[in-house]
Structure 1
Amino acid sequence: MAGVCTLTALTFLALPATGFGDGSPWWLPVGVAAALVAAAVLVVDRVATRTVSAARDLAQGALALGAGDLNVRVEPSGPRELVEAGYAFNRMAEHLVATRADERELVADLSHRLRTPLTALRLDAEALDPDDTSIGTFSEAELDRRRGIRRIRQAIATLEGEVDQLIKTTRKAATQETAPGSCDASEVVRTRMRFWSALAGDQNRPYRVTGAQLRIPVPVPRAELAAALDAVIGNVFRYTSQGTAFEVAVSRRDGYVAIRIDDAGPGVADPDRALRRGASDRGSTGLGLDIAKRVAVQANGSVSIDRARLGGASVVMLLADPEATPRQVSRFGLVGRMAREARDQAGSRRRWNWYRPADR
């Protein structure tokens, strides 16, 4: 047709002369694919290993905690969900430890509160008539009465032993499960003396508390110091007669805090034997001084028994002072200190304010 122009476009694609069928390296793409698959498998394996390891650690920690190991903790790892579960497990374990510690402290405090009425009950039972039925001739009514008195005394002794064992067990468990703590020695002395003052008033015992006005920290948990103080004061009530005066004093000097319990009783015939573990005098179980000794040793201190100014026994617990600072000692310091102590002792004899039943 006239006037019509037709254009034709041709495209040329250059191909290499070689191909898969003529000896080309066909293994190259196969190797790349295999390498990619191996890398993917390795990454998945590492991720799965971390996940399984984190889940296994969490399961083992839960089993150990359920078996009673309160010190077990897990290292949070793995995916975000398992990391959060690990932190939650550790918080739960810490909360469980704190709860157990609070419960044991409550049990120890209740045991301490039982000491005072039990001591009063035992002293009242000892004031009853003799319970011996092997010597003499008695009527049936008198035999029943004496046997009843014996049963009362035996029941009180058994209950005291149970309370002592409860305190001892609680202290041991608390020491193993919790970290070492500290407390205010003055506050513990004031608190415990509020309980013992009631029994002192019932028995007409004059008593005095000195040095417990200011804060005096000691590196001992409060429950343990209270147990030691109750044990030593309990010995005063147990082995001295009614009306015997006693004193509880707190002081700090030369890097130590001293808690001294003096009484006006007969004293201790063999102090070394009384300080030995399990030793006993006059029927004592030895638990009181044993508790005081272990508490003092825990605080890098010691316990000593001497003759008190009141005439009886003087039990001194020395505890390391955590706030003590080294000081340079003068060569005249010992003489001056001895003279100052002599003046203080002379003045204290003139200024002693004894609490008596009428003072309550």
Structure 2
Amino acid sequence: MPLRARLGLLAAAAVAVAVSAVAVAAWLLTEQQLNSQLDANLRSVRASPAYVAELLRSCQFQQSATEPNAGDRTPTPYTVQVVTGDGTVCTAPGSSAIEVDAGDLAVARGFQRDALHDTESEDGQAMRVATSRPDGPAEPGRNYAVSIAQPLSVTSKPLDGLAWLLLGVAGVGVVGAATAGAGIARAGLRPMKQLTDATEHIARTEDLSVRIPVDGDDEIARLGKSFNAMTAALASSRERQQQLIADAGHELRTPLTSLRTNIELLIRSEKTGRELPAGVRADLLTSVGAQIAELAGLIGDIQELSRPDAAPGSASRQLVALHEGAERALARAKLRGKEVKFTCELEDWFVWAEPAALERAVVNLLDNAVKFSPAGGAVSLRLEAGRLSIEDEGPGIPADELPYVFERFWRSPSARSLPGSGLGLAIVARAVHASGGTVGLHRAPGGGTLAVMTIPGARTPPPQAPPAAPVPPVPPQAQSRLPS
């Protein structure tokens, strides 16, 4: 059953229960009031002593063919009956005798003051009877009681009419509630229908540009905003994925083409039996090895960027001594830059991060500094209060190129002849931002490049778990295509 129909039925059921409860309560209250009023009326009615005496005298003639004339009586809604202590019933002429129970006899014999009960007359009519002792004896020495009765139809007929009225009102209310509930559900669930249509359209066409119109700030509007944000994020993720694939294909094409050319030359030499000069063959093999190493590094960088980010508080984030990681990164950089002078000033600093990713980020920054430093140049590494800076004496980065240095596969025109994939700084940005820090490149005062990495932490190891703080804003020069 559709949700709209279920909501309509629920509204109708809720109204039906409420209306039924009110109707039953009203009917029961009315019944109690009418019965109480009937009992009060029966108890307030008193037959005159003369009339009671006349009824008692007429009892001796009840077996005869003709009855004495009790006189002209004004018609009343009540039936008057005298009950004697021996069980004799004296009923007014023209009235049906009323069944006598033990309570009536107890009142007639003086055992109780009055009695009130339901019974039936001889003609089968339901009656309400109030029996009491008379105020004064109509005939001395005789025990009797007077019963005043009235048909129960005086209350049952109004109650039946009220029941039908309440039933009709309840039926109209339920039907109206069902109709109104269906209409309200249809109007209220219209945004849900739009959301469903948009979801089905995206599932069918994979078109992530679809957006749902959002109006208001209620739960449905929030759901629509969340859906729009989700589709926008998916579209951005797909775009970055496609861009990564395109860039990776472009970067892989050059080393693969060169590698293929060199290997084809070696194969042709073997097939034709024409040996290449020893120097040429050695150069080809060296080139093949370098190209394979370049491909391996490029594939490793792509794999690193394709990994999902570690969520705050995840098991992969650990307490890391940044100063120790910087020392290890510096040792690796010294192996690659034997002609470069290194200076190092490191203070203790502990952060929550992925150890391998953070150390690789420092290694990549140092590798860039070594790559662009001239022979005999100096590279300084300094860590103070969570601010890690690396300064070189290279040519520096032009100001118009600084906004693009953290983009994937972006390489400065002046550095395209140097080895590298253009992914190193993108990996740096990813690792630093995952640790809650910031990173940026600037022009050094001496003309080189100054890389600054800032990560929140403490000088002593904190005992608490890693904070689930929001990721800080991305620096302007790294906002274009940061890895997700």
* Coarse TM-score class (shorter-chain normalised): 0.3 to 0.5
TM-score under structure 2 length normalisation: 0.33
Q: Which has the higher contact order (CA 8 A, sep 6+)?
A: 1
More helix by share: 1
Q: Which has the larger radius of gyration?
A: 2
TM-score under structure 1 length normalisation: 0.43
